[in-house]
Structure 1
């Protein structure tokens, strides 16, 4: 990208936000922040017990991510956040208006298979359906790109960086899908 943006790597659990985010950050030579690290302990305990977060649970988490993004304005960065609902993304944009979203997408089967292979993560596969039910994909007026997560992390990163650069090249729809 020609200017340093803060990129929010978003998507349901298991799409690879924690894997792809650092790779995109490395490719763009900007810092990466793990969105899960912004969760208060009560949120982690709730998800670990198999209970989905509600909007009130997410507010302090989104505000912490938004504060990090605001602090990176003009310098660039990559942060992961499920950002499943438009209202969540609006809250992040209120804190850092120049945010760009990288929506990692994929089939439920592919993502569930990847989640089943994860070790030591607090988000159980049982909550995947609630994530898909909550997901509101990027709207046409939201600046971002959607990238399918089929393939290796390197292939996904390559597609993501290409899509982000294409988005930055000039007049085009607010949302691009690759």
Structure 2
């Protein structure tokens, strides 16, 4: 079952997902790499994406998860997946998914985004992402993990939450 490390910009999705993939012997995928050029241009200009912009991208992410799973590999994906309906598209396209929802305060997220220079997402879009964010619901496979800790502890907690779900038969 693929793992999607989700959250708003600045939550550490890419860092945590990459480290988690190494820890679990999986393959890391960054959903940002699957955005069409039009989406990147919009976000770079400070324009939030619409659902019409997101749906083909989310299907591409789900298809990438299926490709890795069909090769017998665990896909660990960094993807915002902010709303339930976006996660539903990932499940519809990519099959069963376990979500790790990275959570942190607006202040911490703003601080992280402000110092980041290599990413196309400007700090001005954080508020729109926070407004869109819908926490995991009880019927969604996954766990929330706080980002207010060093990366190794965040990764360890994510790994443990995934392992606990696997042991309990949820996965």
User: Which category describes the TM-score, using the shorter chain as reference length?
Assistant: over 0.9
Deviation at 1:141, TM superposition (A): 0.1
Structure 2 Cα separation of the partners of residues 145 and 70 of structure 1: 22
Partner of 2:10: 14
Mapped contact 1:145–1:167 kept (Cα < 8 A): no
Structure 2 Cα separation of the partners of residues 141 and 72 of structure 1: 25
CA deviation profile, 1:43-89 (whole Å, cap 9, x unmatched): 00000000000100001110110101112235311011100011110
1:129 maps to which of 127, 134, 156: 127
Partner of 1:167: 165
1:62 maps to which of 42, 46, 58: 58
Higher alpha-carbon deviation: 163-172 or 147-156 = 163-172
Higher alpha-carbon deviation: 35-44 or 68-77 = 68-77
Partner of 1:90: 88
CA deviation profile, 1:115-166 (whole Å, cap 9, x unmatched): 1110121101111010010001100000011100011111111111111111
| Deviation >4 Å, runs of 4+ | none
Give the TM-score normalised by structure 2.
0.95
Deviation at 1:32, TM superposition (A): 0.2
1:29 aligns with 2:25: yes
Which one has a larger percent helix, Structure 1 or Structure 2?
2
Q: How large is the Cα RMSD of the aligned pairs? A: 1.3
Partner of 1:48: 44
Unaligned runs of 5+ in 2: none
